[in-house]
């Protein structure tokens, strides 16, 4: 089983390794839910959290592939309307994801290089 945890980091704000990836402090301690999400365990602070926590996809209602498509389009510089049309989701959903991704932009910098928080449509000048 290939547990690639290099994209995850500890979600405990009080942990010395909080927000730091690739430290080797995380292990998989279990699975949960119908989709067998991984439950991660931080050896440094002994906290447990969902693999979905701390990513823009956490607590989302869209299937992963749609959510990722939304983020990919946003990262490519598509506007809300364009992304909504291309992916086939509502504009409100796109806005919600863009805000969520923006809040996590620092954490996701590696994956979403070039992503910038969405400007209100056309209001950049
Ligand atoms: Zn920790």
DSSP-assigned states of every residue in 21-45: BSSS-EEEEEEETTTTEEEEEETTT
**If you measure from the C-alpha of residue 89 to the centroid of ligand 1, how many angstroms do you get, rounded to a whole number?**
35
Phi, psi of 88 (to 5 degrees): 85, 35
Phi, psi of 37 (to 5 degrees): -65, 150
pLDDT at 33: 80
pLDDT at 121: 55
**If you measure from the C-alpha of residue 22 to the centroid of ligand 1, how many angstroms do you get, rounded to a whole number?**
12
**If you measure from the C-alpha of residue 47 to the centroid of ligand 1, how many angstroms do you get, rounded to a whole number?**
6
Phi, psi of 29 (to 5 degrees): -110, 0
Residue 8: pLDDT band with limits 50, 70, 90: confident
**Looking at the predicted structure, is the pLDDT value of residue 78 above 80?**
yes
pLDDT at 45: 93
Least confident of 7-11, 37-41, 75-79, 110-114: 110-114
**Looking at the predicted structure, is the pLDDT value of residue 110 above 50?**
no
pLDDT at 118: 54
**If you measure from the C-alpha of residue 81 to the centroid of ligand 1, how many angstroms do you get, rounded to a whole number?**
39
pTM across the whole model:
0.44
- pLDDT tens sequence across 18-77: 888 888 999 998 888 887 888 899 999 998 888 876 555 544 567 778 888 988 888 888
User: Is residue 61 within 8 Å of 101, Cβ to Cβ?
Assistant: no
**If you measure from the C-alpha of residue 9 to the centroid of ligand 1, how many angstroms do you get, rounded to a whole number?**
8
Name the more confident of 109 and 39: 39
């Amino acid at each position: 089983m290939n547990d690639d945890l290099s994209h995850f980091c500890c979600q405990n704000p009080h942990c010395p390794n909080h927000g730091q990836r690739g430290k080797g402090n995380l292990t998989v301690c279990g699975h949960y839910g119908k989709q067998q999400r991984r439950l991660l365990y931080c050896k440094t602070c002994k906290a447990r959290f969902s693999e979905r926590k701390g990513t823009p996809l956490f607590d989302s209602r869209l299937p992963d592939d749609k959510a990722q498509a939304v983020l990919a389009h946003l990262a490519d510089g598509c506007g809300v309307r364009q992304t909504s049309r291309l992916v086939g989701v509502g504009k409100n959903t796109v806005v919600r994801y863009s805000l969520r991704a923006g809040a996590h932009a620092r954490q996701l910098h590696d994956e979403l290089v070039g992503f910038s928080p969405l400007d209100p449509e056309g209001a950049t000048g």
